[in-house]
Amino acid sequence: MKKISLLLLLATLGCKQQILIEESLSPTFGIVIHGGAGTILKENMTPTKEAAYRKVLTEAIKVGHTILQNGGSSQEAVEKTIHVMEDSTLFNAGKGAVLNSNETIELDASFMNGSNLDAGAISGVSTIKNPISAAIKVMENSPHVMLSGKGAEDFAATQNLELVKPQYFITDRRVKALKRVKAQEALRNKPISSAETSFLQHQRYGTVGCVALDLEGNLAAGTSTGGMTNKKWNRIGDAPIIGAGTYANNATCAISATGWGEFFIRSVVAHDISALMEYKGFSIKEASRIVIHEKVGGLGGDGGVVGIDAKGNVAMEMNTPGMYRAHMDAEGNLNVKIYKK
Ligand code: ASP
């Protein structure tokens, strides 16, 4: 009698183990996006505005999800998902990006492929309709990782990318925002110093980013932004910097960041999350928590990240009151969120 129950127990355990092994081997996919982190408060939001953000976030993530579901690559999912947000005037990327102090646009973007650690980035461009595609072309068709300004635009012109007049990107909302910031700056009668944190903290919103895991187990990450309102001197933030705003490695995770770029560069945010996973065995959630709260937060910076690992576990971590974000898993469960809680 005892022998039979022991055999039955062993058979059940074996079966469970097999299911577990199959589960961990069965391919899965997933996608996470952000549309910028910052002082996004419910009291400053109208139901119409909130609905508009949710609509574009949903539309964007579904584009990538469909690609992944049909066996497409994480690279394609990231690129096409970001196009939707770059084309929307709601976000600080592509059309609707913030203006620099000369009332012009300087766009930054980067992309990284987790399967081979290939990467591409562009910064300070104002005629490329979808900067994320230019970053991908730099990765695919140039011997470089990062191109900037006119050179990046000359390169884009050879790559069959859609080019537009700088005016295409400019919206009333951002013109007004620049006027407001300049008026505040004039009151101070001096340029903003790095210590004037609360002022600078409010000059950026709406960078976009996407991370994805495809059915082949490949991770990819991309980020696209207009940077910071009233930026001067060809300032470049973290978004186009591989390892700071964007990082992907099949062995660990794919990360896209948004926040106060200077602090994200100094904390090497995206790569640091990957390194904590690789060298310390931390989960993506724990690694993201440490980097956003202890490292970036410890220096006085703010912002957030979205990430996904090779098993489809995700992180959406921030130390700001809000971050436009969404996650969609292989089963099609969609989670769109704006506020921290
Ligand atoms: N990180 C971007 C930058 O500093 C801005 C943002 O994400 O809001 O350019």
Ligand 1 neighbourhood includes 35 CB (under 6 angstroms): no
- 242: nearest Cα among 273, 276, 278, 270: 270
What is the tens place of the pLDDT at every residue in 60-100?
999 999 999 999 999 999 999 999 999 999 999 999 999 99
Ligand 1 neighbourhood includes 301 CB (under 6 angstroms): no
For 48, counting Cβ atoms within 10 Å of its Cβ (0-12 exposed, 13-18 middle, 19+ buried), the class is exposed
Domain 27-339, architecture per CATH: 4-Layer Sandwich (3.60)
pTM metric for this prediction: 0.91
Which residues have a Cβ under 8 Å from the Cβ of 243 and sit 6 or more positions away? Answer: 268, 270, 271
What does DSSP assign to residue 336? E
What is the tens place of the pLDDT at every residue in 143-156?
999 999 999 999 99
Measure the CA–CA gap between 19 and 323, rounded to whole angstroms: 37
What is the tens place of the pLDDT at every residue in 157-179?
999 999 999 999 999 999 999 99
Task: Please indicate whether residue 12 is annotated as part of the active site.
Answer: no
Ligand 1 neighbourhood includes 320 CB (under 6 angstroms): no
Type of residue numbered 274: S
Measure the CA–CA gap between 25 and 246, rounded to whole angstroms: 27
Measure the CA–CA gap between 189 and 92, rounded to whole angstroms: 27
Residues above pLDDT 90, as percent of the chain:
81
3-state secondary structure at position 213: strand
Residue 38 pLDDT level (bands cut at 50, 70, 90): confident
- 248: nearest Cα among 170, 295, 207, 308: 308
Q: How far is the CA of 204 from the centre of ligand 1 (A)?
A: 6
Residue 17 pLDDT level (bands cut at 50, 70, 90): low
3-state secondary structure at position 24: helix
Say yes or no to pLDDT of 21 above 50.
Answer: no
More confident residue, 316 or 41: 316
Measure the CA–CA gap between 127 and 172, rounded to whole angstroms: 19
Q: How far is the CA of 14 from the centre of ligand 1 (A)?
A: 50
Residue 53 pLDDT level (bands cut at 50, 70, 90): very high
What is the tens place of the pLDDT at every residue in 221-259?
999 999 999 999 999 999 999 999 999 999 999 999 999
3-state secondary structure at position 11: helix
What is the tens place of the pLDDT at every residue in 177-197?
999 888 887 776 666 555 455
Domain boundary assignment for the chain: 27-339
Interval 262-290 mean pLDDT: 98
Measure the CA–CA gap between 154 and 143, rounded to whole angstroms: 15
Q: How far is the CA of 44 from the centre of ligand 1 (A)?
A: 21
For residue 38, the ligand 1 atom closest to its alpha carbon is 8
Interval 189-213 mean pLDDT: 70
The per-residue pLDDT for 184 is 80
Type of residue numbered 24: S
